[in-house]
Amino acid sequence: MFDLIIIGAGPAGISAAYEAQKLNLNYLVLEKNLIGYTIYQYPVGLTVFSTVNELELEPNTLFPAREKPTREELLSYYTRFVLEKNLSIQWEEAVGAVEKISENHFVVKTEKGEYESRKVLFATGAMQHPRRLNVKGEDLPKVHHLFRETYPYVKKHALVVGGGNSAGEAALFLAQEGAFATLATFRKDWEETDPKQGCIKHWVKEPLEAQLEKNCLDVFFLGGVVEIKEREIVLEDENGNVETLPNDAVFILIGSDADLTMLERLGVEMKDSKYGRIPIYDEETFETNVAGVYVVGHFTEARHIAGAIEVPKKIVPLIAARFALEKSA
């Protein structure tokens, strides 16, 4: 019987594992893909927007070549951290179900086995379901819901749909490296400057504007995407006019949603927030209405890597204190 099973080995799961290890808890992390898989999926060569102190698991341990780390430096940092601290993580093992048997007794089921635990912490992030436009042609092989790299699209007509930073960065990579790049976005997203609204960050927007001036990028102010065809894309502009553009590749980067199914099956209550549907949890302990089930990371309101790392530092000691209390009772 484990004290704590942590599901997911992103920054939140790694931070929780490190805390559990320091407190001598008998813990295990189960990760569906790879250590830091969300970061692994960032575009190749991306420089992240967070500062070093927001990304570090321990102060003064991350040393990027420039001011901010690249995807590769960050992924290397988290992977080496896991290996050097000898954290107990089993990757390429997806959790398919969690059942509550009784107080302090959960069964966590994967495709490889079943594990028993007194508490369960979900650190599964919010990347499982990339949002779809639900338009005709969206299942064509040239349509992607993730942007990895630009080189297959040099001198090709590549169109990015989206208004946030991921869409802006993809359009910039494509424009800078020789694709015929178009960013199809709503005007209000392009003109938004409040970072809290999830707009394109100014250090992405400014080089995008430079690409626009050099005619290496087009910005199309969308009414909507009408249809994606083999060699073209049909768009409606902000005034309702329909235009057909030549097209070889489409990147639909309009956000993604968490998979809350396992939590819902456990009976965890959900609410609508500005981030979409999220679990309801105690703001101090991050425990849900189902006793012994905790949530941390990007599908809670403590988002981004800084929140994903900080919250486990606070709540895993509370879980350990609960164990001590239960033992002495």
> Which residues ranging from 211 to 240 are in contact with ligand FAD (CB under 6 A)?
none
Using the rule CB under 6 A, give the single segment among 100-108, 117-125, 238-246, 268-276 that binds ligand FAD: 117-125
Q: Between 19 and 31, whose beta carbon lies closer to ligand FAD?
A: 31
Contact 123, 27 (CB under 8 A): no
Q: How far is CA 271 from CA 129, 268, 279, 301, 308, in A?
A: 18, 10, 6, 11, 20
Q: Between 40 and 221, whose beta carbon lies closer to ligand FAD?
A: 40
The HSE-up count of residue 209 (CA atoms within 13 Å, CB side) is 9
Q: Between 235 and 295, whose beta carbon lies closer to ligand FAD?
A: 295
Per rule CB under 6 A, is residue 260 in the interface with ligand FAD?
no
In the complex, what is the shortest distance from the CB of residue 208 to ligand FAD, in angstroms, rounded to a whole number?
Answer: 16
Is residue 318 classed exposed, middle or buried when 0-12, 13-18 and 19+ CB atoms within 10 A define those classes?
Answer: middle
Q: Between 40 and 323, whose beta carbon lies closer to ligand FAD?
A: 40
SS3 82: helix
Q: Per-residue x/- marks for ligand FAD, 7-26, CB under 6 A?
A: xxxxxxx-------------
Options 62, 118, 161, 166; binder of ligand FAD; rule CB under 6 A = 166
With contacts defined by CB under 6 A, how many residues of the chain interact with ligand FAD?
A: 31
Options 3, 19, 31, 56; binder of ligand FAD; rule CB under 6 A = 31
Q: Compute and round to an integer the Cα radius of gyration of the chain.
A: 22
Per rule CB under 6 A, is residue 95 in the interface with ligand FAD?
yes
Per rule CB under 6 A, is residue 305 in the interface with ligand FAD?
yes
Q: Which of 313, 317, 265 is nearest to 56 (CA)?
A: 313
Options 27, 42, 153, 294; binder of ligand FAD; rule CB under 6 A = 42
Contacts of 74 (CB under 8 A, 6+ apart): 36, 39, 48, 55, 62
Per rule CB under 6 A, is residue 293 in the interface with ligand FAD?
no
Q: Which of 42, 137, 32 is nearest to 89 (CA)?
A: 32
* CA atoms 299, 302, 308, 313: torsion sign: negative
Where along the sequence are the contacts to ligand FAD (CB under 6 A)? 7-13, 30-33, 37-38, 42, 48-50, 94-95, 123-125, 127, 166, 297-298, 303-306, 308
